[in-house]
Every structure is written in C-alpha cells, then in structure tokens.
Structure 1
Amino acid sequence: MATHLQGSLFDQTDDLRLGPLDGLRRTRLNAGAWIDLLPGWLTGADTLFERLVLDVPWRAERRRMYDRSVDVPRLLRFYGPGDPLPHPLLDEAREALSAHYADELGEPFVTAGLCYYRDGRDSVAWHGDRIGRSAHEDTMIAILSVGAPRDLALRPRGGGQVLRRPLGHGDLIVMGGSCQRTWEHAVPKTNRAAGPRISVQFRTRGVR
C-alpha cells in the first residue's frame, strides 16, 4: 500500500520514544469540556506511521446513509479489550495515558481504534463518542496522530465557533470533561494538498 508521506524535518529517526506527559497544556472549553494538547509526544512518529500502514489489517467499510449504502471515507481497524495491538509502542502509550489520567478518569483506557486518512478526500463527520455512556456521564478520548498533519475541528454541540488543531507527526490530544456530550469533533475534507495520516484513539471500555 503506497503512503507518499512527506516526513517531518524534525523527526528523522528510527528510535521510537514517548516523551513525558507533564508537557500537556489544557484548554478549557465551555460547559465543562476541555482538551489537553502535547505536540510531538512521540519521537520517531514517521517510522511508526510506516509500520502501521504495513502491519495493520485495514478494513474499508460501507455504512447505510438514508436510502443507500456509501463507502466510509477512511480505512479502519478496532482493537478491543485484550486484543494485541499492532505495535508495542501503542501498548506503552495506552499504559502511560491510563496512569496519567487515573485520578480524573477513574478507569483505564482499554481499546484502540485506528483510522487511516489516505489523503484530503478522507474524513470523519461531526460527532461525539457517546456510545457506552449515559447522557450525564463523562469520558475521555486520547488521540495519538502519526503521519502528515490534518485539522481536528471542534465545535459546541448545536453549532458555534469552530476550533481547529492540526495534528500529526506524533502529536497527542486528549478530549475530556463533558467534551463528548457537549461538543462535537470532525476531520473535515480538504482541497489542499494533504499527506496520509493515521490517528490512534484510546478509549475506555464500551465507549465508541
């Protein structure tokens, strides 16, 4: 599978390493939502990207939309609780995040969902990860991005000002508080030249 990734000039190494999480910076949103951001958490992200492209058994899916079936505009793979992850670095990342957020989250991250955005035509629509939680329960979603940067867009549920955070090359974002209930997020399509990106979403049990 061709990737055509333009590597980062600041990450030319095969030595994969996670940095400390004390560099996370929190942005408070409204209605009790927040995001934590740590650019370049993973050193060697381009190497991990290439390994995941080759080693993950990616799936192209179709979903029912209105009266017809359409292609999902990205490739997918989901690893449930107990499933072996495709690279040991992802186990390390999940364990580090579970330990760091243990007091706030109250439960570990146990699943990993991978999305492969092949170019600017691949996307994910506005949504919140609400399956597995009631209308009053909060959760966290931690996303590690490798490959070329793509915008993660966030907006209040029901509409409002859109925030954009370009994520790639080992960047980490964590959406917490009420973010999945009161905000939505998306990876919009773009007409600009966009290289391939893989996002790894760590979630708690039952949340999708």
Structure 2
Amino acid sequence: MNTPSLFTDPLIELPDAELKLLPGWIDPATADAWLATLLAETPWEQPQIRVHGRVHPIPRLTAWFGDPEARYRYSGLLQCPLPWTPLLAEIRSRLEEKVGQPLNGVLLNYYRDGQDSMGWHSDDEAELGRNPLIASLNLGGTRRFDLRRKGTGRIQHSLFLEHGSLLVMSGPTQHHWQHQVAKTRTACAPRLNLTFRRVRPHE
C-alpha cells in the first residue's frame, strides 16, 4: 500500500511506486534565468566508466554539489561534493519546503543534444536509505523519461519532462522500477536536470 502523497494532487498511477509530476513548477522566466546561470557557473566534468573491460566517457556532462558529508557513489564513481552555490542553495530551500524533507546533495546532468543520455538504472544506492526521495528539476529542452519494472525489458510508462517541471519519486519506487533518458534522433534543445536527494552515509 502506498503511503500518503506529499501533494494534494493524485500520484501517477504505477504499482509499487510514488511519482508526482508538477509541470510548470517554476515560471518560464525563472527557469530561463536558472538555466543560464547554472550552465555558465558549473564546472562540468565528463567522467569515464569501465564497461566490459573498456573505458568510455559517460554520454553527458555532470557535477555533484552538496553538504561536506554528502559523498555519494554511483556507477562505480565516488562523488565528492562541491560546495553549494547561492543559486543551488536557493533551489534546495524551495524544494525542501515543497517536499517537507531535508536534501543535502544534488547531481547535475547536462544533456547537450539528443545523443547525450542516461541508461537504465534505479537510484537505490545504500547511502540513500530504504525509500529515498528524489526531486528532479528539469530545465531546457524537453526529453522523454522512461520507466520499466525491474526484471522486464520493455518501457511501461513514459513522461515528457519540460522546462521548469518537477518530478518527485519517493516511497518504494526505486525498489521496483528503473528509469532512463534514451538517445533520440529528434532535434532537441540542451537540457539540464538537477536531482536533489538526501545522502545518509553514516546510517
């Protein structure tokens, strides 16, 4: 049974999941300003990962910000947080007020074009706790966000994440579902995604 929603509107109806999409969570002018500032100020990196014995750069640019203790490992990479910028601290404060939970880290993913992508995965690392809340803010070009049940091979639900939208995943979602942002040949503007979370390294 799902726990009560953080929001007054109904959740997206998926079994064993709690997802809420808020289109237009921020107004277009604010979204434009945030996007321009973050693209200009962020020290972007393109980490490399080893797949089947070969090293490949991940197909997007990234940066990890957070409180000093918010060290986070995913895809075999240990993320040591950069200190909060004034803008990221402001966005975090707004999100904490919205979701009613503390957030101590944010992963920025910059998709420069349709060939930048994120493969199938769940945000289920031990540092995130049993039922992590992931608050995903989307700026820039619209991209399709796919979900599939763990253990299956087909897409079972898709969302289009638009400029200024907020997607919140919580409850048992990461136990039962995977998500991706697939490559596309359709022309699309650059997209910046900020996924805020709470890292619990000592719990």
Query: Match of 2:90?
Result: 92
Identity %: 34
The answer (yes or no) to whether the contact 2:66–2:84 under 8 Å persists in 1 is no
Mapped partners of 1:145, 1:24: distance in 2: 20
Query: Match of 1:47?
Result: 33
Query: Match of 1:202?
Result: 196
Mapping of residues 177-192 of structure 1, within 5 Å: 177-192=171-186
Q: Which runs of 5+ in 1 are unaligned?
A: 1-20
Letter of the 2:55 partner, please give it. S
SS of the equivalent of 1:130 reads coil
Mapping of residues 41-190 of structure 1, within 5 Å: 41-43=25-27, 44-82=30-68, 83-88=82-87, 90-102=88-100, 107-132=101-126, 137-159=130-152, 160-190=154-184
Q: How many angstroms does 1:95 deviate by?
A: 2.3
Mapped partners of 1:23, 1:172: distance in 2: 15
Q: How many angstroms does 1:133 deviate by?
A: 5.1
Letter of the 1:66 partner, please give it. H
Equivalent pairs counted in the alignment come to 180
TM-score, structure 1 as length reference? 0.79
User: Any idea what the Cα deviations from partners look like across 1:156-181, whole Å, max 9, x if unmatched?
Assistant: 11125421111131100001111111
The answer (yes or no) to whether the contact 1:139–1:176 under 8 Å persists in 2 is yes
Mapped partners of 2:7, 2:178: distance in 1: 26
SS of the equivalent of 2:12 reads strand
Mapped partners of 2:8, 2:190: distance in 1: 26
Letter of the 2:98 partner, please give it. H
The answer (yes or no) to whether the contact 2:146–2:155 under 8 Å persists in 1 is no
Letter of the 1:179 partner, please give it. T
Query: Match of 2:75?
Result: none
Letter of the 2:93 partner, please give it. E
Query: Match of 1:37?
Result: 21
Query: Match of 2:71?
Result: none
User: Any idea what the Cα deviations from partners look like across 1:96-116, whole Å, max 9, x if unmatched?
Assistant: 3323333xxxx5111011000
User: Any idea what the Cα deviations from partners look like across 1:59-100, whole Å, max 9, x if unmatched?
Assistant: 011110111000100000001215533342x32332233233
Pair 87,169 (structure 1): closer, same or farther in 2 beyond 3 Å: farther
SS of the equivalent of 1:125 reads strand
SS of the equivalent of 2:59 reads strand
Query: Match of 2:77?
Result: none
Query: Match of 1:13?
Result: none
User: Any idea what the Cα deviations from partners look like across 1:17-60, whole Å, max 9, x if unmatched?
Assistant: xxxx96765213112x1101110111221221111111100001
